């Protein structure tokens, strides 16, 4: 795909066999040599210069080609016009580095609003997680190392059920956290693309009507993933020992591949739902349309973002975990003894502080990448940069269309 559609140097390429550095006569040319009207004594090619002097009429520069610039500054003759940049990104197709830089620039430009959202949501999420881990987490089932294959399979099913019981409240908290951070930060980032200021109350007022639809989308995708995984591993579990285990493993791997493909295909559904004000199913179709033909690029950007946020979380969480282990001596000794550690309140509080700091940084970056990736795909496919430039009031693009232009990106 051409990353800069419509950008090309004016003028045509030289004809076949003609050297661009050697001037050619304007008159007819004889097949046996140069035109007879030209003198044999000519200056060497490539060394001509414009005459100077008081009686010399300067040659005016050629007029700009139609459709070039649109009032925008140029980078010089033969270069594409500089893209307008009213906000955190230039209004043209973006590279991977520009998408990441735009997400970070949004944090810097609107740090009060962004950190207010991410810190508040992270603190509430971490408090709920600590309470669930402390009071609702059941004891893990015992595992017999000398069990037969059938007993081992039964123990695996029991462990899976226990893990699902533990993960249920955690997943519910994660869905709610993702819901609020996605809704509010999407509004903030869409305003930052246009260079418009935004406050927490403005973001909440715009995001609140879309929360029911976003909740439906946030619940639908995990349910679809769980259904696909169940279909993948259920035949193997029904067969039992031997071939059944192998079939369950193969079915699980195939289900993971299908889930990954669907998650990338629907990665832009949340920005489409928030910014285009569509329903759940239309936003999924919209995301599939925007990702079509760019699945691998979308996958690479999403994977890189997950890797970066994971590294940032580890860099922040590891020191807090070491401090927590040092403070909570009982849990540290249990860990070295090979038994399940019984961590106390000091350990949970210190690690919770580290998680809040990490989440406050990684939430805005992750949300920013998804929104800016959505904007980039629309710029590439639908020339959204022209509409954004008009909405931002960039000279040379006309006036903004009626309506709330700040909510479109």
CA distances from 37 to 26, 40, 316, 321 (A): 10, 9, 80, 88
Per-residue pLDDT tens, the chain, 409 aa: give them: 333 333 222 233 333 333 444 444 444 444 444 444 444 554 454 443 434 444 444 444 444 443 333 344 444 444 556 778 888 999 999 999 999 999 999 999 999 999 999 999 889 888 888 887 777 666 655 655 565 666 565 666 666 666 666 667 777 787 888 888 889 999 999 999 999 888 889 999 999 999 999 999 988 998 999 999 999 988 888 887 777 788 888 999 999 999 999 999 999 999 999 999 989 999 999 999 999 999 999 999 999 999 999 999 999 999 998 888 888 766 555 555 555 556 678 888 888 899 999 999 999 999 999 999 999 999 999 989 889 988 888 887 766 555 444 433 3
- Residues 3 and 210: their CA atoms lie apart, in Å, by 32
Closest CA to 91 of 202, 197, 192, 198: 192
Closest CA to 334 of 343, 346, 347: 343
Q: What is the pLDDT of residue 163?
A: 64
Q: What is the pLDDT of residue 145?
A: 59
Q: Which residues of 152-175 are buried (b: 16+ CB within 10 A; e: fewer)?
A: bbeebeeeeeeeeebeebbeebee
Prediction pTM value: 0.71
- Residues 121 and 241: their CA atoms lie apart, in Å, by 46
């Amino acid at each position: 795909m051409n990353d800069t559609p419509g950008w090309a140097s004016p003028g045509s390429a030289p004809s076949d066999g003609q050297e661009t550095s050697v001037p050619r006569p304007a008159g007819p040319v004889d097949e046996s040599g140069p035109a007879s009207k030209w003198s044999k004594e000519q200056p060497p090619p490539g060394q001509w210069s414009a005459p100077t002097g008081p009686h010399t009429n300067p040659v005016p520069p050629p007029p700009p080609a139609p459709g070039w610039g649109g009032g925008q500054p140029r980078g010089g003759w033969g270069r594409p016009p500089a893209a307008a940049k009213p906000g955190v990104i230039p209004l043209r197709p973006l590279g991977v580095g520009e998408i990441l830089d735009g997400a970070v620039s949004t944090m810097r430009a609107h740090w009060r609003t962004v950190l207010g959202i991410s810190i508040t949501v992270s603190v509430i999420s971490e408090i709920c997680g600590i309470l669930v881990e402390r009071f609702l987490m059941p004891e893990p089932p015992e595992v017999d190392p000398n069990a037969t294959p059938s007993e081992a399979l039964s123990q695996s099913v029991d462990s899976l059920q226990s893990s699902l019981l533990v993960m249920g409240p955690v997943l519910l908290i994660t869905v709610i956290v993702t819901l609020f951070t996605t809704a509010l930060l999407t509004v903030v980032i869409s305003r930052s693309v246009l260079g418009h200021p935004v406050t927490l109350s403005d973001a909440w007022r715009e995001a609140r009507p879309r929360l029911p639809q976003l909740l439906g989308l946030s619940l639908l995708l995990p349910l679809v993933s769980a259904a696909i995984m169940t279909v993948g591993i259920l035949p193997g579990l029904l067969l039992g020992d031997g071939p059944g285990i192998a079939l369950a493993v193969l079915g699980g791997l195939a289900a993971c591949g299908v889930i990954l493909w669907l998650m990338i295909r629907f990665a832009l559904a949340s920005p489409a739902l928030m910014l285009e004000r569509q329903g759940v199913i239309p936003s999924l179709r919209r995301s599939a349309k925007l990702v079509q033909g760019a699945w691998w690029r979308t996958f690479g950007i999403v994977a890189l973002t997950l890797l970066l946020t994971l590294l940032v979380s580890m860099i922040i969480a590891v020191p807090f975990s070491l401090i927590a282990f040092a403070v909570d001596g009982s849990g540290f000794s249990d860990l070295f003894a090979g038994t399940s550690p019984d961590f106390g309140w000091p350990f949970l509080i210190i690690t919770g502080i580290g998680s809040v700091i990490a989440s406050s940084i990684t939430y805005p970056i992750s949300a920013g990448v998804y929104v800016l990736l959505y904007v980039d795909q629309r710029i590439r496919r639908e020339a959204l940069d022209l509409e954004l430039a008009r909405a931002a009031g960039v000279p040379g693009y006309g006036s903004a269309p009626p309506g709330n232009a700040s909510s479109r990106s």
